[in-house]
Amino acid sequence: MTEKTNKTVKTSEQDLKARIWRGLSGKVLVMTIIFVLIGEVLIFLPSIANFRITWLKSRVAVAEVAALAVEAAQDNQISNMLKKELLRGAEVKIIALNKGSSRHLMLQADGDLMIEEKFDLRERQWIMPMVDAFAVLFRTKDRLIGITDHPPKMTGTDIEIALSEKPLRDAMLTFSVNILSLSIFLSFIVAAMVFLALNYVLVRPLRKFTLNMLRFADDPEDQSRIISPDDRQDEIGIAQRELKHMQVQLSTTLHQKSRLAALGLAVSKVSHDLRNMLASAQLLSDRLSMIDDPTVQKFAPKLISSLDRAIGFCEQTLKFGRANEHPPTRERFDLRPLAEEVIDAGVIQASNHVTLYNDIAADLVIDADREQLYRILMNLSRNAVQALESSIKQGTALRECSVRMKAWREGGVTTIEVRDNGPGVPARARKHLFEAFTGGARAGGTGLGLAISNELTRAHGGELRLITDADMGAVFWVVIPDRVVELHPGKRGKREVSAS
């Protein structure tokens, strides 16, 4: 079992080391690159739109200068050569000025000029410029476009220009390629920085954490494997300190438990040998009791009963030392006869002053391990008899001392009540009532009876309860549920038919 666990842990540790790129670090790196690229795309959209507007406005500005040059000439007349020169310099085909309601064509290139789409730069828009910019990037055919804008210098005038879209597209493509390469370069730098930062702040401490947990799980008793927390105030620091606290507690508890287990083993061995020695002493004292000497006759029974008690004590300890009771072998049987047996054994121990009653209905059936239930009821009734006897000795008992057993069923749960009218369970016994060796408050008791009874009841899926609101005496309830019945549809069908 341990070997198997160790093997699993070792594989996991190797796995963890091999996992660096598949693990958190790799994921963080890929996610950072993706997020930075998304960020860059989001920045690219408005910037390409802005680039287009700025480019067009620069054409408008140059066109305005050309228009001013034409206006400066006499009667707006310039030579053909100058006209061509101005249009070429401004990279436009048509320049017109709108002054009030009149339109003045300032310059126009030769040939057939068909404007395919017009754009108005006077209006400020957000979404459409981005759509238009994208359309330019993906349009392969060159065309003539018209632009209307306020010229930078001439107030109260609008300028209209017509120009070929191809130079704009070329400039936008160059800009995009530049931006794209810069983005990729930046995203890798940012991703590397974010990756290193996250790796340092989160991933490394988490790996340390996980490795430590794996190592600790391998051998929780080894105190050198307890995590040494970093001096950090964040959540990881808190988690490390909490883990350390837990590991210290677990390690100490395990250490204590293994020492107790060793001690228990030693006690079992001692009890075993002691019981054998006491048994020999018992034989000798039996023979001693045959001697017809009044002093011997006076002390021999006391010696024998002391030895009996000592042997009983050793046997109980040994029984308890057996790590676990065997699981209950359950059967359905009438409870009343079993209670009768318990009462018969109890009567032998009890003096004439204590009466034991069996108030259990004759037809009450219980689903339990007969042998174990006998031991539970025996412990409870013996405790009751002992408590009553001691109160009789002290003169505090009632006139009629009784122990009563009754039982009832509620659905699939049977409750057996053992009630006496003695002094009740003392407060100091109540605290650790069902804990082995610590619950006993009676001189000569081992403090095992209720612990064993509780363990046996729990093995039945039930519960042993001390009912505290009893007016007087002690009332114990043994609550035992029936076994869960497996329903097989076929079989159930048959049974129902035969039942009807």
Ligand X SMILES: Nc1ncnc2c1ncn2[C@@H]1O[C@H](COP(=O)(O)OP(=O)(O)OP(=O)(O)O)[C@@H](O)[C@H]1O
**Between 311 and 474, CB nearer to ligand X:** 474
Taking the complex as a whole, the smallest distance from the CB of residue 440 to Mg ion amounts, in Å, to: 7
Cα–Cα distance measured from residue 310 to residue 251, given in angstroms and rounded to the nearest whole number? 37
State which amino acid sits at residue 44: F
Among 129, 146, 346, 440, binds ligand X (CB under 6 A): 440
**Between 129 and 447, CB nearer to ligand X:** 447
Cα–Cα distance measured from residue 304 to residue 278, given in angstroms and rounded to the nearest whole number? 10
Residue (of 448, 445, 421, 414) closest to 338 by Cα position: 414
383 binds Mg ion, rule: CB under 5 A:
yes
Taking the complex as a whole, the smallest distance from the CB of residue 425 to ligand X amounts, in Å, to: 4
Please state at what angle helix 80-90 crosses helix 24-72, rounded to 10 degrees.
160
Strands (DSSP E) contained in 434-492 are 463-467, 475-481
Among 94, 405, 448, 480, binds ligand X (CB under 6 A): 448
Distance (Å) of CA 460 to CA 205, 324, 334, 359, 475: 47, 14, 17, 23, 20
Taking the complex as a whole, the smallest distance from the CB of residue 260 to ligand X amounts, in Å, to: 19
- Listing DSSP states for 181-241 in one string gives HHHHHHHHHHHHHHHHHHIIIIIHHHHHHHHHHHHHHH-TT-GGGS----S--SHHHHHHH
Cα–Cα distance measured from residue 70 to residue 159, given in angstroms and rounded to the nearest whole number? 14
Among 160, 417, 420, 482, binds ligand X (CB under 6 A): 420
Taking the complex as a whole, the smallest distance from the CB of residue 390 to ligand X amounts, in Å, to: 9
301 binds ligand X, rule: CB under 6 A:
no
78 binds ligand X, rule: CB under 6 A:
no
Q: Where are the alpha helices (DSSP H) in 219-334?
A: 235-288, 294-321
387 binds ligand X, rule: CB under 6 A:
yes
- Whose tokens are 């990756």? That residue is 195
Instruction: Give the interface size with Mg ion as a residue count (CB under 5 A).
Output: 2
Q: What binding mask, one character per residue, do residues 27-66 give for ligand X by CB under 6 A, x or -? A: ----------------------------------------
462 binds ligand X, rule: CB under 6 A:
no
Residue 442 interacting entry, from Mg ion, ligand X, none, C-beta within 5 to 8 Å by type: ligand X
Residue nearest to ligand X (CB): 445
Among 441, 459, 470, 479, binds ligand X (CB under 6 A): 441
- Whose tokens are 């039930």? That residue is 462
Applying CB under 6 A, which residues contact ligand X? 316, 379, 383-384, 387, 420, 422-426, 429, 433, 439-442, 445-451, 474
